[in-house]
Amino acid sequence: MKLGEASKLRTLPEVEWAVSASPVDYLTAVRAMDARVEAIAAGAAPELVWLLQHPPLFTAGTSARAEELLDPHRLPVYRTGRGGRYTYHGPGQRVVYLMLDVKRRSGDVRAFVSALERWIISALADLGVNGETRGGRVGIWVRRPVKGEHAEDKIAAIGLRVRKWVSLHGISLNVCPDLSHYEGIVPCGIAGHGVTSLAELGVPASMEVVDNALRSAFERCFAPTTTMRGSIGAQAEIAADDRR
């Protein structure tokens, strides 16, 4: 990181950092993101990074195609407003929802996505994994020479939406999920490449270790963080009750 970039990071306001210990219902998470994004856009709440896990499910982004859902009866399917196609969420996968002010950080969505990729690559490096990007394929990839000379698998997916210049949805990083569930979809619409996890790569990192790597790398790449007080999920339920 250049000296000027480090100085800029120190002047940015702290981003709240929240970790949910128990699996979070998907629609509850969406309500939480919606409420927080509105508050951030109105200047009524700080930015937030929310780490969680979901029960097993598929989500369909705005570009998802029906033929890419190979087994529609395998798991619940949720249509979502994020970009991208089909992906899987479930236990053993670290989902990171990002409610960040894109305009403040770059004003350029593509540059923001590139910064997210650099963040995940940096965190993976701390865990001993060499993550890479590929032109035309958003996400983070790892080379798999055991599968063939040019084989590579995706270890982290990115799917975003930006509303009022604030991001929502975010990143999923495979720590130790049941990878067989990916057989029910064409992951992110990309055939011909596989999906992997830290566990499959022989990295026995706990979720806590992964979370620490993500937070440390985020602070290097984006801004300082502060631990959120209270439950973002509970705040979402309160917001939902207020709208009824």
Would you please indicate which residues are annotated as catalytic (active-site) residues? Answer: 188
- How far apart (Å, rounded) are the C-alpha atoms in residues 207 and 226? 19
In whole angstroms, give the CA distance from residue 169 to residue 199.
24
Residue with tokens 């984006």: 222
48-52 and 15-19: which strand pairing?
parallel
Place of tokens 């979720």: 207
Q: Look at the chain and count its residues.
A: 244
Strands, DSSP E only, in 62-193?
A: 77-79, 86-89, 93-99, 132-134, 137-143, 152-163, 166-174
